[in-house]
Amino acid sequence: MTNEQHTAVVTGASQGLGYELAGALVARGWQVIVDARTPGPLDEATGAWGGSATAIAGDVNEPAHRRRLVDAVRNAGRLDLLVNNASTIGASPMPTLAEIDVATLRTVYDTNVIAPLSLTRAVLPYLVEARGIVVNISSDAAVEPYEGWGGYGPSKAALDHATAILAQEQPEIRAYAFDPGDMRTALHQAAFPDDDISDRPEAATVVPALLRLVDERPGSARVTAADLAGARGVA
């Protein structure tokens, strides 16, 4: 590998959107550094992709694990894309704000806000040097008040706002809060444990919108998959 090969970090890549996006980037010839909490599924994923994929199992909440991701970026020599995809809803079924315990709430914010911001800060010099892209995976729950989403929704709203501030502070890079819409994923099933979610689109259907974001590099913004599917030349 040379330093000319594009490099991405994708967290939470053993399943769902992270899995599909990382596989698509590998197919494009990118060097992709991926993580997930469970080693087995992560190793299976990188084996399925082939190509240049580095699997680092661990919890993105843990500083030592984030340091290992940064070490992998340092070894790659550059970073063109960071996708903060790893998320948690906390408890399933999701409790109301009156019922949610503080420990669960703290875990949600640590995973959905503190961890992605900490990782972004740690790799920011590489992103600036490459004039790279940060994609923070958001949700419509960040802007719509759904009953029972009092932990996850506000955490994504905080991540959205932090993304916008990052864009103001670091004009050399692009920073996007990306709302993929409903998907048929384990996280979505956990949010609705008693529902049949087979009518939701597969995560793979969202990947073209994300790749378009990477290719076209519109101005930093909060964007949805529907935005990118609906009109060329997002401003």
Q: Distance between CA atoms of 77 and 69, rounded to whole angstroms? A: 13
Q: Which one of 152, 155, 176, 220 is the catalytic residue?
A: 152
Residue 12 contacts by C-beta under 8 Å, 6 or more apart in sequence?
18, 35, 36, 60, 85, 86, 87
The yes-or-no answer on residue 138 being catalytic is yes
Q: Which one of 138, 139, 155, 220 is the catalytic residue?
A: 138
**Is residue 51 a contact partner of residue 107, using CB atoms and an 8 Å limit?**
no
The yes-or-no answer on residue 198 being catalytic is no
Q: Distance between CA atoms of 149 and 30, rounded to whole angstroms? A: 36
Q: What share of the chain is helix, strand, coil (3-state, %, to 5)?
A: 50, 15, 35
Q: Which one of 52, 139, 155, 156 is the catalytic residue?
A: 156
13 sits in the region (left: phi over 0; alpha: psi -120 to 50; else beta) called: alpha
The yes-or-no answer on residue 19 being catalytic is no
Catalytic residue positions?
138, 152, 156
